[in-house]
Amino acid sequence: MVLLTMINVLICDDDLYTSKVLKKVIEENDEVKEIYLAENGEEAVDAVKNNDIDLAFMDIDMPKLDGLEAAKMMISLDSDLKVVFITAFPEYACDSYDLRALDYILKPIDFHRVNENIERLIQQSHGEKFHDSLKENNILMIKDKQEYYFIKMEDINYIEKQDKQLIIHTKDKEYSTRMGLNEIEEKLNQNFFRAHKSYIVNLKNIEKIEPYGDSSYIIYFENTDKVKNALITKNNIHILRE
């Protein structure tokens, strides 16, 4: 599984010398694909409108449209855009954090911090792509203590909440993890259904469903010991029927 991530960067500063030096530093990173330049906030907004930009380094005190107002507009255009403010004025720091800026760097620029922000974004993107790739290939990754397990989703019959841990019941083995039901549900494909507050079931592996008391049904799974089963509420039975 090869995960390649390259990002596009925007530099916005009315000081052309600063932009030139910053561009030279960023160009040294092999995982930066394109670098766009803007001399004011209006040009930065246009750059985001017309290009797929992942990270913007923004000066704040600029003519026409300042960096803070420009960043608000840019984020409204692309909510995934990350912004790092680079300025000589520390008093703007509070305003920048209201925009959830990735960082706030004072001039003279610490280029080590510039590279740290690029690497942080790339690592975050790697992680997202990795988990997306697992889901696309129908694989669930869980952590149990210090070990990681990669489980084929087709082998999972159901997932059960027991106290502070989850038990993942496959056709021939059980795994435990400290993940929450909501967290693990996000990692599963469309074959899984939240049948009960304590159970997620694989609809593909159900053999039959029978009444169990006044408010629940019991689910049996194919090729499994009949002792190992899950519950589903009456309300969720109606959802399945629909």
Neighbour order of strands in the sheet with 174-177: 174-177, 165-170, 156-162, 199-202, 192-196
Per-residue pLDDT of the chain (242 residues; tens, 9 = 90+): 334 468 899 999 999 999 999 999 999 988 899 999 999 999 999 999 999 999 999 999 898 899 999 999 999 999 889 999 998 888 777 777 678 888 999 889 999 999 999 988 887 776 666 777 788 889 998 988 888 899 999 999 999 999 889 999 998 899 999 988 998 998 899 999 999 999 999 999 999 999 988 889 999 998 777 667 899 998 888 888 77
Predicted confidence at residue 226, as pLDDT, reads: 67
pTM confidence score: 0.56
At position 110, the amino acid (one-letter code) is D
Burial of residue 115, with CB atoms counted within 10 A of its CB: 0-12 exposed, 13-18 middle, 19 or more buried? middle
- Give the closest residue to 219 by CA, choosing from 208, 233, 235, 205: 208
